[in-house]
Amino acid sequence: MTDTRTTAAHGGAIGLHGIKKWFGTFQAVDDVTLDIRPNEFFTLLGPSGCGKTTLLRMIAGFELPTEGQILLDGADISSLLPNQRPVNTVFQNYALFPHLSVAENIAFGLKMLGRPKAEIGTVVNDMLRLVHLEGRGDNPVTQLSGGQQQRVALARALAPRPKVLLLDEPLSALDLKLRKSMQMELKRLQLETGITFVFVTHDQEEALTMSDRIAVMSAGTVRQVGSPWDIYDRPAERFVADFIGETNFLEADVVSVSGSAARVRLSSGAEISASFPADAVPTGSVTIVVRPEHARAGAPTGMSVLRGAVHDIVYLGTDTHLHMHLDDGTTFTVRQQNARSGHCGFSKGDTVGIDFSDGVAQILRD
Amino acid sequence: MNGAEQAAAAARKQDIRSRWLLSAPALLIIFVAAVGPLFVMLLYSFMVKGDYGDVKLGEFSLEGWTSVFFQRDIFDDTLGLADAHLSIIWRSIQLSFFTTVLTVILGFPTAYFIATRPPHTREIWVFLVTIPFWTNLLIRTFAMQQVIRNEGLLNNALMWLGVIKSPLQIMYTDTANLLGMTYVYLPLMVLPLYASIEKLDFRLVEAGYDLYATRFQVLRRIVIPLVRPGIVAGSILVFIPSLGAYVIPRVLGGGKNMMLGNLIEMQFGSGRNWPLGAAMSITLMVLVTVALIFYVRNASRGGAGHV
C-alpha cells in the first residue's frame, strides 16, 4: 500500500461556475457554482430529480452544460470528451464489462491509455489488494456478488489514478450491512489514495458519515454547502433542515441581534439565543429549528422553555421519541437516549416541560 | 414392490404411451416431410442414372458420388479432378463468405442506428427493413438487374456524373452475384443484429469512454464482443441461403457464373444426371452443417461471459 500513499495528495480541484443544463424545456441544473477542493470527499446530496446526477455527468463529460464552465485544477474542461478528462466514474449499476474478467475490467482504463503491460500488471495487483479481491483476478465479473462487483467497479475507476473520482449512488444497490461496511471502505480508499471524491447520494446518513463537505441540492440548485456538522446543526433553510434528519420547527420573534447570535422570543414567552446564517441577519418573525436530540423533557417548571402534552411515545431501542403537542398547538419531538433500561418515565397525556441549551436553536433564512 | 407402487409405475407407462400416441401425427409429418425426401436423395445418389433423367432403381453405383469431385477422361478413361464442379463449389463458398462480410459491414451501422432511435421510432425503422420481404425474390432480383445492367441506374448515373465514359460490365460477373445476394440477404443480417444491439447496455459504452477508450476502441472492445451472438446469428442466416442461392446467380450471374444451386438444378434438368444432382445436394448440406457447427462453436466460446 506504500506506493499508493507516496502518490497520495494528487487530487484535483473542481470548479463549477454558473452551470445551467436544459433538457428540452426542462431545466435540470439551474446556475450552480461550487468549488470542490483537492483531496476532499465532497457529497452532492438531494432527493431524486434534484439535478445531482446531471451535475456529476457533466463533470464526467457525458453531458455538456448548456451554460457555464467546468474547471479542473483551474483549466477549462467544459468541452472535453469523457475520454479526455482525467476523471473516472463509479456507476450506480457498476457497468462492469460482462465479457471481461475482474483483472481485465480493472486493466481496461490503463490499457486504453497505452500503458506498458508490466505497469498494468502491477497496478491491477495493487488494486486487487486495495479492494480485498486478491486472487479473484481471473474470475468472470458476472460470478461476483453485488459487494464484490462494487469493489471491482471502484478498482477499475481508481486504477488509472484519476484526479477526481465520481461516484453515482454506488451503494444504493447493496443491503444495509454491506452498505455500512462499504461506507467505511470508501472513506479509507479516499484517504489512502488522496484522490478527490465527488459522491452523489440521496441518503443523508451516508452523506453525513463519509463527507468532508456536503452540498444539499433541490430542484437544480445548491441550497447549502458545508461540513456535515454545519449542514446538520446549522441548516440555513427549511428544505435543508427538513431533508437532513428529523427536526422541530418553531415560530419566534427576534428580540435583538448581537454578533453571530440572536435573542428570540418563543410563543411560550421564553427568550432563548439562536444562531443564524451569516448572510441573513434575522428580523421580525422567524422560524427556528431545534433537533429532537438537543431538547430535554422533564417535569414542567417555571424555567422550562416550552410546555406541552405527550401524545405519543415511540420506543426505538436505543432511543425513545416523545411526540408532543405544545400549548400553542405545534408539534414537537424530543429524542431521549435510553441510558437506563426500563420505562422512559412519561405516559400519554402527561404535561411536560421542554428545555434546550442556549445556542442549539438555529434561525432559518426565509 | 407393493401394490401401490406397481399401480403408479403402470400409470406412468400408460402416460408415456399416450403421449407418444398423441404426438404421433406430428412426428409422422416431420418424418415424411423432412427425413423422407432426404432419404430418397441419399438413395438416388447411389443409383445408376436413367437414360432420360430419373434413376434405374435397384442398380447401385458410386458414379454419382465420384463425379461430384472427379471426372473420367473421355479418351483414356482415367480419373481426374472435376475442375468445373470444384471451382463452382469454391466460388459458392467465396461468394457466400463475402456476402456475409458485406452484410455485416452494411448491416451493423444500420442496426446500430435503429437501436439508438427513441423506442417508438425503432418499430418504424424495423418495419421499413422488412418491406423487401413483401416482394417475391425473383422480382427483387430483376430490380437489381435494372440497377446494375449496362443501361441501368448505376451506370447511367456514373456516366452522367462523368466518373466513367463507357458503362461498367457488372451483369454476368461475380460482382453482380455478390451485389444481388448482399441486397437480398441484408435484412436477414440487420434483424438479429438489431435484436442484440437493442439489448446492449449503453451504460457500458459510457463506462468505456470514461475509461479513456476512443470511439473505435469502444466499438472493438465493448460493443462488438457484446453483440457477437447477433453477428453470429445474422451470419448463419445469410451464409446458408447464400451457399444454396439459385435465383440470383441464374438472373444476375448468367451461365458463366454458376453457383452450387444452379449446378444442382442443371443435373436434374438438362444434365439428366439425377444421382450426381442428389450427391451434390447432400454435399451442399454437409457444407452447410460444417459451417453451422463452426459458427455455433465460435458463438458459444465468445458469448460465454455475456448475459
**Residues on chain A touching B305 (C-beta within 8 angstroms):** 98-100, 140-142
Query: Do B259 and B177 form a contact (C-beta atoms < 8 A)?
Result: yes
**Residues on chain B touching A141 (C-beta within 8 angstroms):** 305
A98 closest CB neighbour out of B213, B217, B307: B307
The CATH number assigned to the domain holding B268 equals 1.10.3720.10
The reply to whether A228 and A252 lie within a common domain is no
B210:A98 CB<8 A: no
**Residues on chain B touching A108 (C-beta within 8 angstroms):** 208, 211, 213, 221
pLDDT (tens digit per residue) in A265-303: 887 777 788 888 877 777 778 888 888 888 887 777 777
Assess if residue B243 is contained within a domain.
Answer: yes
Give residue B151's Cα distance to chain centre: 31
Is it the case that residue B190 has pLDDT exceeding 80?
Answer: yes
Set of cell numbers at residue A180: 455500512
Assess if residue B107 is contained within a domain.
Answer: yes
Mean pLDDT of A152-175: 88
- Number of folded domains that form chain B: 2
Nearest to B306 by CA among B226, B235, B247: B226
pLDDT bucket at B109, cuts 50 / 70 / 90: very high
The reply to whether B102 and B212 lie within a common domain is yes
The reply to whether B106 and B211 lie within a common domain is yes
- Residue A347 sits at the vertex; the CA angle it makes with A341 and A351, to the nearest 5 degrees, is 125
The reply to whether A96 and A163 lie within a common domain is yes
B210:A112 CB<8 A: no
The reply to whether B110 and B168 lie within a common domain is yes
The reply to whether A169 and A63 lie within a common domain is yes
Confidence (pLDDT) at B111: 94
pLDDT bucket at A255, cuts 50 / 70 / 90: confident
The reply to whether A110 and A161 lie within a common domain is yes
The reply to whether A138 and A167 lie within a common domain is yes
> Which residue of chain A comes nearest to B304, CA vs CA?
A99
The reply to whether A154 and A206 lie within a common domain is yes
B213:A108 CB<8 A: yes
**Residues on chain B touching A97 (C-beta within 8 angstroms):** 204, 207-208, 222
Query: Do A363 and A238 form a contact (C-beta atoms < 8 A)?
Result: no
The reply to whether A115 and A203 lie within a common domain is yes
- Four-CA torsion A339, A340, A343, A347, nearest 10 degrees: -40
CB atoms within 10 A of CB B216: 8
Assess if residue B69 is contained within a domain.
Answer: no
Assess if residue A136 is contained within a domain.
Answer: yes
Is it the case that residue B303 has pLDDT exceeding 50?
Answer: no
pLDDT (tens digit per residue) in A321-364: 888 888 777 888 888 887 776 666 777 778 888 888 777 888 88
Assess if residue A241 is contained within a domain.
Answer: no
B213 closest CB neighbour out of A61, A112, A156: A112
What is d(CA A334, CA A358) in angstroms, rounded to the nearest whole number? 16
B210 closest CB neighbour out of A89, A93, A98: A89
B226:A156 CB<8 A: no
The CATH number assigned to the domain holding A145 equals 3.40.50.300
Nearest to A261 by CA among A366, A358, A365: A358
pLDDT bucket at A3, cuts 50 / 70 / 90: very low
Confidence (pLDDT) at B299: 66
Q: What is the ipTM of this complex?
A: 0.80
B211 closest CB neighbour out of A93, A99, A109: A109
Specify the 3-state DSSP secondary structure of A45. strand
**Mutation choice for B interface testing from A108, A156, A165, A167 by most B CBs within 10 A:** A108
DSSP labels, B15-83: HHHHHHHHHHHHHHHHIIIIIHHHHHHHHHHTEEEPBTBSEEEEEE-SHHHHHHHEEE-TTT--EEE-H
A95:B213 CB<8 A: no
What is d(CA B214, CA B223) in angstroms, rounded to the nearest whole number? 12
Instruction: Kindly report the average pLDDT of chain A as a whole number.
Output: 85
pLDDT bucket at A105, cuts 50 / 70 / 90: very high
Name the more confident of A313 and A339. Answer: A313
What is d(CA B239, CA B236) in angstroms, rounded to the nearest whole number? 5
Q: How far is B105 from chain A (nearest CA, A)?
A: 23
The reply to whether B34 and B90 lie within a common domain is no
Query: Do B263 and B157 form a contact (C-beta atoms < 8 A)?
Result: no
A99:B306 CB<8 A: yes
Query: Do B252 and B296 form a contact (C-beta atoms < 8 A)?
Result: no
pLDDT bucket at A308, cuts 50 / 70 / 90: confident
pLDDT (tens digit per residue) in A27-73: 888 888 999 998 899 999 988 888 889 999 999 999 999 988 998 88
A89:B212 CB<8 A: no
B211 closest CB neighbour out of A98, A108, A140: A108
Identify residues of B whose CB sits under 8 angstroms from chain A CBs.
Answer: 201, 203-204, 206-214, 217, 221-222, 225-226, 304-307
Assess if residue B72 is contained within a domain.
Answer: no
Residue at B70: amino acid letter:
F
Beta strands A319-326 and A285-290 are unpaired
The reply to whether B17 and B137 lie within a common domain is no
What is d(CA B186, CA B99) in angstroms, rounded to the nearest whole number? 9
- Number of folded domains that form chain A: 2
Confidence (pLDDT) at A342: 65
A98:B305 CB<8 A: yes
Assess if residue A240 is contained within a domain.
Answer: no
Instruction: Write down which residue in A201, A233, A265 finishes a domain.
Output: A233
Assess if residue A164 is contained within a domain.
Answer: yes
Instruction: Write down which residue in A178, A204, A233 finishes a domain.
Output: A233
Q: How far is CA B243 from CA A232, A318, B100, B179, B289, in A?
A: 73, 76, 10, 15, 11
Confidence (pLDDT) at A279: 77
Confidence (pLDDT) at A4: 37
pLDDT (tens digit per residue) in A69-93: 998 888 888 888 998 899 999 998 8
Query: Do A347 and A310 form a contact (C-beta atoms < 8 A)?
Result: yes
What is d(CA A5, CA A130) in angstroms, rounded to the nearest whole number? 12
pLDDT bucket at B278, cuts 50 / 70 / 90: very high
B210:A60 CB<8 A: yes
Q: How far is B113 from chain A (nearest CA, A)?
A: 19
Mean pLDDT of B221-244: 90
Range of the domain at A116: 2-233
The reply to whether A76 and A222 lie within a common domain is yes
**Residues on chain B touching A156 (C-beta within 8 angstroms):** 211
Instruction: Kindly report the average pLDDT of chain B as a whole number.
Output: 87
Assess if residue A337 is contained within a domain.
Answer: yes
Mean pLDDT of B61-77: 83
What is d(CA A145, CA B307) in angstroms, rounded to the nearest whole number? 15
Share of chain B above pLDDT 70, in %: 96
Confidence (pLDDT) at A8: 42
What is d(CA A243, CA B273) in angstroms, rounded to the nearest whole number? 87
The reply to whether A85 and A175 lie within a common domain is yes
Q: How far is CA A195 from CA A44, A125, A190, in A?
A: 17, 19, 6
Is it the case that residue B238 has pLDDT exceeding 90?
Answer: yes
B226:A99 CB<8 A: yes
Assess if residue B63 is contained within a domain.
Answer: no
Assess if residue A60 is contained within a domain.
Answer: yes
**Residues on chain B touching A82 (C-beta within 8 angstroms):** 206, 209-210
The reply to whether A88 and A134 lie within a common domain is yes
The reply to whether B201 and B292 lie within a common domain is yes
Assess if residue B57 is contained within a domain.
Answer: no
Nearest to A186 by CA among A195, A57, A177, A46: A195
Instruction: Write down which residue in A207, A233, A259 finishes a domain.
Output: A233
Residue at A166: amino acid letter:
L
Specify the 3-state DSSP secondary structure of B152. coil
pLDDT bucket at A2, cuts 50 / 70 / 90: very low
Share of chain A above pLDDT 70, in %: 96
For chains A and B, what is the number of CB pairs under 8 angstroms? 68
Query: Do A347 and A313 form a contact (C-beta atoms < 8 A)?
Result: yes
The reply to whether B150 and B298 lie within a common domain is yes
Residue at A306: amino acid letter:
L
B306:A98 CB<8 A: yes
Is it the case that residue B74 has pLDDT exceeding 80?
Answer: no
Assess if residue A122 is contained within a domain.
Answer: yes
Assess if residue B71 is contained within a domain.
Answer: no
**Residues on chain A touching B306 (C-beta within 8 angstroms):** 98-99
Confidence (pLDDT) at B51: 82
Assess if residue A239 is contained within a domain.
Answer: no
Q: Is the pTM of this model over 0.80?
A: no
B212:A100 CB<8 A: no
Set of cell numbers at residue A44: 452532492
**Mutation choice for B interface testing from A64, A81, A83 by most B CBs within 10 A:** A83
Confidence (pLDDT) at A5: 36
What is d(CA A79, CA A61) in angstroms, rounded to the nearest whole number? 8
The reply to whether B117 and B22 lie within a common domain is no
Name the more confident of A245 and B116. Answer: B116
The reply to whether B19 and B136 lie within a common domain is no
Is it the case that residue A214 has pLDDT exceeding 50?
Answer: yes
The reply to whether B32 and B173 lie within a common domain is no
The reply to whether A267 and A311 lie within a common domain is yes
Assess if residue B78 is contained within a domain.
Answer: no
Give residue A150's Cα distance to chain centre: 19
A109:B204 CB<8 A: no
Using left for φ > 0, alpha for ψ between -120 and 50, and beta otherwise, residue A114 falls in left
Range of the domain at B10: 1-39
The reply to whether B186 and B238 lie within a common domain is yes
The reply to whether B134 and B244 lie within a common domain is yes
Query: Do A288 and A250 form a contact (C-beta atoms < 8 A)?
Result: yes
Confidence (pLDDT) at B114: 94
Confidence (pLDDT) at A344: 66
The reply to whether A299 and A182 lie within a common domain is no
Residue at A283: amino acid letter:
T
B211:A156 CB<8 A: yes
